[in-house]
Copies of this chain bind each other. A is one copy, B any other.
Amino acid sequence: MAKYPGVSMMVTRRLPRYYRCLEDLIQKGVERISSREFAQIIGFTASQIRQDLNCFGGFGQQGYGYNVSVLYQEIGRILSVDREYPAILVGAGNLGLALVNHMGFQQKGFKLTGIFDKNPSIIGKIVGGWPVCDVEEMGAFCKAHKPVAAALCVPDSAALEVAERLVRNGVRGFWNFTHHDLSLLYKQEDVAVENVYLGDSLMTLTFLVTELIEE
């Protein structure tokens, strides 16, 4: 049973932003903040913030506001970034390497346990402390190490086959950088999918830039 069954994807997507913003406040030495001040920094309204946080129990105190480090810990706990879900990365091209080297999986609830690729010139290289393994060994690896999630940085043409193979081997979540909307393939209660469409983001910028510069 889901722990927060009533929480919408809109609220879910705002949680990491709260978390990131609170981390910045801690680094700046801010100990407490009103929802009005928090709103100005984060760019939501104060009422939005109160409403979002009320989905999980509130955490604010009338006349005091929020204790920054307590709220940070609470949201981290809700997001489950304190976990160490075993995860793998499939596709060790430039994007995969960027994720392994800079994403900080461990601060976000995952522990990278394996990296896979099918390119013989990449297999065997050490990336982020891990040797890149042949994607053909992935099934056996999954049986032995039971990764819960996978970051998919494979070419679009390989996405569906790799995803299917991983689901058959027990993977329950995808961080999907391919073109294919994997969420259409699985029931929400079976597999969690976070699609990252970088191309959509770039086209959004195209629209916004045009709105700015065109008369």
Interface residues of A (CB under 8 A from B): 1-4, 12-13, 15-17, 19-20, 43, 78-81, 83, 85, 93-95, 97-99, 101-105, 108-110, 148-149, 172-175, 179, 181, 183-184, 189-192, 194, 196-215
Query: Pick the contact of A199 from B4, B108, B197, B212 — CB < 8 Å?
Result: B108
Tell me whether A184 and B43 are in contact in the complex, defined as CB-CB below 8 angstroms, given that A205-B173, A207-B79 are known contacts: yes
Contacts of A201 in B (CB 8 A): 16, 175, 194, 196
A16 touches B200 (CB 8 A): yes
Give bound CA distance, A97 to B96, whole Å. 11
| Residues of B contacting A102 in the complex (Cβ-Cβ under 8 angstroms) | 93-95
Docked complex Cα distance between A202 and B99 (Å): 10
User: Considering the chains assembled together, what is the distance between the CA atoms of A16 and B205 in angstroms?
Assistant: 10
Q: How far is the CB of A37 from chain B (nearest CB, A)?
A: 14
25 A-B pairs whose Cβ atoms sit less than 8 Å apart in the complex: A3-B210, A3-B211, A4-B211, A12-B208, A13-B204, A15-B203, A15-B204, A16-B201, A17-B200, A20-B197, A20-B200, A81-B206, A94-B94, A105-B202, A108-B203, A109-B202, A109-B203, A109-B206, A149-B205, A172-B209, A172-B212, A175-B205, A190-B212, A194-B202, A194-B208
Residues of chain B within 8 A of A98, CB atoms compared = 93-95, 98
Instruction: Flag if A192 contacts B211 (CB, 8 Å).
Output: yes
* Contact pick for A149, options B85, B189, B209, CB 8 Å: B209
In the complex where A81-B206, A173-B205 touch, is A148 in contact with B213 (Cβ < 8 A)?
yes
B residues less than 8 Å from A189 (CB atoms): 212
Q: How far is the CA of A183 from the CA of B204 in the complex (A)?
A: 14
The CA of A200 and the CA of B9, in the complex, are separated in Å by 13
**Which one of B103, B190, B203 contacts A81 once the chains associate, using CB atoms below 8 Å?**
B203
Residues of B within 8 A of A209 (CB): 80, 85, 109, 148-149, 172-173, 192
